[in-house]
Amino acid sequence: MIAGRYAPSPSGRMHLGNLMCCLLAWLSAKSKDGQVLLRIEDLDTQRCPRVFADAIIDDLAWLGLAADGPQLPVYQSERAEIYQRYYDILDRRGLVYPCFCSRSQLHAASAPHRSDGQVVYAGTCRGLTPAEVAERCKIRAPAWRVQVPDETISFTDGHMGMYEENLARDCGDFYLRRADGVFAYQLAVVVDDALMGVTEVVRGSDLLSSTPRQLWLYRELGLTPPTFYHLPLLLAPDGRRLSKRDGDQSLENLRARYSAEEIIGKLAFACGLQATPRPVTPQELAADFDWAKVPKNDIVLPESMF
């Protein structure tokens, strides 16, 4: 049984980019008679209040894209004990270490920057002695990183094709846990997708470079990875990335101006799924959905579409 998923971070209402991701996750699963599960990625409870999660659930139902599965979605904010168990597996193997670097130290370090603007961690705190760790703990609580091997992880993305990264060179030791105790996205997403039985992950290409790290975690934790499909990004007509701050493109505003079929129809046209922006239901699109229709390059929304 195919199981896709939505994994929204409810730090605001959905925008069109989030919606494109949900639409394609739904179509990819449903066109293969699969299910779509919902997980609310609210690890950062300060930034992700329940009201936004509730609004996303309501928006998905209104659009005809309601999730399947249990009545209640999985909330990451309620799963710290589960993440702890998997964190402990890596910790027991001596792969986890405390990092005391501040944000400014990380940026000042001479480590190379990745193409996505992230800093490759130089391993500054990897070799600290127990005495040094104890001394620094008196000054600040550390975050926790996992030590990655000098290994190239490659995989074939269902949409983007072959992708690879060398963990040590292109990524560096990455966070498993923040200084305030909150587990990091990279760990939570792997544990959750595996435990929820997700077989395919559809998400934006901004997360393509997280995938080798996640595949490595799957292997180290003895979990089965899903198939990945990374989508092109949806850009505003002026070429900017859409963000939750773009009020015009939020579901709240779109719902006031268009019907669900109109929104789905325009979006389906923008991402190559139909020849005109005519109103359409997700079911109609599922009938002849094919990943080959979806572009690989970023999609710029036509000027007067929304």
Please answer whether residues 57 and 6 qualify as being in contact, where contact means their C-beta atoms are separated by less than 8 angstroms: no
Q: Which of residues 142-201 bind ligand GLU (CB under 6 A)?
A: 189
CB nearer to ligand GLU: pick between 125 and 208: 208
Interacting span for ligand GLU (CB under 6 A) from 7-15, 58-66, 161-169, 222-230? 7-15
CA distances (Å), origin 198, targets 7, 153, 154, 194: 11, 21, 20, 6
3-state secondary structure of 63: helix
Q: Which of residues 274-293 bind ligand GLU (CB under 6 A)?
A: none
CB nearer to ligand GLU: pick between 44 and 284: 44
CB nearer to ligand GLU: pick between 12 and 142: 12
Residues 13, 99: Cα–Cα separation, whole Å: 34
Contact between 9 and ligand GLU per CB under 6 A: yes
Show the tokens assigned to 152.
């190239």
E strand or H helix that includes residue 6: strand 3-6
3-state secondary structure of 99: strand
CA distances (Å), origin 277, targets 101, 150, 266, 301: 50, 48, 4, 12
Q: Kindly tell me which residue out of 3, 4, 8, 65 binds ligand GLU, with binding defined by CB under 6 A.
A: 8
Show the tokens assigned to 50.
């329940």
Window 28-47: contact mask with ligand GLU (x via CB under 6 A): -------------x------
CB nearer to ligand GLU: pick between 9 and 35: 9
Q: Which residue is nearest to ligand GLU (CB)?
A: 203
Contact between 13 and ligand GLU per CB under 6 A: no
Q: Kindly tell me which residue out of 13, 203, 213, 230 binds ligand GLU, with binding defined by CB under 6 A.
A: 203
Interacting span for ligand GLU (CB under 6 A) from 2-10, 65-73, 150-158, 277-285? 2-10
Nearest Cα neighbor of 220 from 88, 97, 123, 124 is 88
CB nearer to ligand GLU: pick between 19 and 273: 19
Number of residues engaging ligand GLU in binding (CB under 6 A): 7
Show the tokens assigned to 24.
């394609």
Contact between 76 and ligand GLU per CB under 6 A: no
3-state secondary structure of 32: coil
Residues 185, 176: Cα–Cα separation, whole Å: 8
Task: Tell me which residues touch ligand GLU (CB under 6 A).
Answer: 7-9, 41, 189, 203, 207
